[in-house]
Amino acid sequence: MKIEILTLFPELVEQVVRFGIPRKAVEAGILELKARDIRDYSEDRDRRVDDRPYGGGPGMVMEAEPLTAAIAAAKAAIGEARVIGLSPQGEPLTQDWVRRLALEPGLILLCGRYEGPDERAMRAVDVELSLGDFVLSGGELPAMALVDAIARWLPGALGHEQSAPNDSFASGLLDHPHYTRPEHWRGEAVPEVLLSGDHAKVARWRLKQALGATWLKRPDLLAGLELNKEQTRLLREFIAEAGLDSPDSDVL
């Protein structure tokens, strides 16, 4: 997959492929990342790309021309690709979005700064995605988060010891808890079932814990799922074992 990030801070976004899974994906040749400096498309001799807002008020606005020219250059370089504007006003970025975007051959990520782009530049943006309901100073961190999340879904990027389909959200549930050595640590033992070697029992325990974690931490996710009989039984067991009250949601 080819990703172009359009930014005022190319050195910043390039860091995302210097470490961990995104770096492995680049080394394996399954991910190519280019950071394109929006200032290279400025028509100003001082390479300015921002100006004062019409109507007055604080802050500066990114000019439409350099942004649109940078998008056109990125398209010329990697071919037709979906243009994603990182924006607090966008659709919330979810694992579902990440999985779908990981299937695309190329993506262009547009990072805003200041008060954001001139609204007319948004005509060249296909979709706006947000990292959450808070405001950052720029789209670089969201773009880097998106690249990292996408890299996990590129075939061959993760070793078999780590697998994106087992992560939280992939099945609609949060991930189950994980343990490693030592078996006893500060008075707490690893759950016995994980030492049993019985794969079916381990799978059942993990599903129960995933259901329980989702019920406790993200009931909103559970409300969107239709649990089958086995899952309902496991969640009831989890609640009973934890000595918790029955949920007032209509999940069970």
Is the CB of 135 or the CB of 244 nearer to ligand SAM?
135
Stretch touching ligand SAM by CB under 6 A, among 14-22, 109-117, 118-126, 216-224: 109-117
Stretch touching ligand SAM by CB under 6 A, among 75-83, 132-140, 152-160, 236-244: 132-140
Residue 115 falls in the annotated catalytic set: yes
Choosing from 4, 22, 140, 152, the catalytic residue is 152
Task: Record the tokens describing residue 237, joined without a space.
Answer: 């067991």
User: Which residues make beta-bridge pairs with 247?
Assistant: none
**Residue 218 CB contacts under 8 Å (≥ 6 apart), including other chains:** 174
Choosing from 53, 88, 99, 233, the catalytic residue is 88
Task: Give CA–CA dist 16/35, Å, rounded.
Answer: 11
Among 130, 209, 214, 231, binds ligand SAM (CB under 6 A): 130
Among 53, 88, 172, 247, binds ligand SAM (CB under 6 A): 88
Task: Give CA–CA dist 8/15, Å, rounded.
Answer: 14
Residue 177 falls in the annotated catalytic set: no
Which residue's Cβ has the minimum distance to ligand SAM? 112
Size of the site for ligand SAM (CB under 6 A): 19
Task: Give CA–CA dist 250/49, Å, rounded.
Answer: 53
Segments of 93-233 assigned E as strands: 106-111, 127-130, 184-185, 188-189
Among 10, 22, 66, 112, binds ligand SAM (CB under 6 A): 112
Indicate whether 134 belongs to the interface with ligand SAM (CB under 6 A): yes
Exposed e or buried b for every residue in 74-90, given b needs 16+ CB within 10 A? Answer: bbeebeebebbbbbbeb
Does residue 104 contact residue 1 with C-beta atoms inside 8 Å? yes
Stretch touching ligand SAM by CB under 6 A, among 38-46, 110-118, 150-158, 242-250: 110-118
Is the CB of 111 or the CB of 154 nearer to ligand SAM?
111
Indicate whether 148 belongs to the interface with ligand SAM (CB under 6 A): no
Distance (Å) of CA 163 to CA 152, 157, 166: 8, 9, 6
Which helix (H) or strand (E) is 92 found in, with range?
strand 82-92
Residue 167 falls in the annotated catalytic set: yes
Indicate whether 71 belongs to the interface with ligand SAM (CB under 6 A): no
Instruction: State the residues that interact with ligand SAM by CB under 6 A.
Output: 86-89, 111-113, 115-116, 130-132, 134-139, 142
Kindly list the catalytic residues.
88, 115, 152, 167
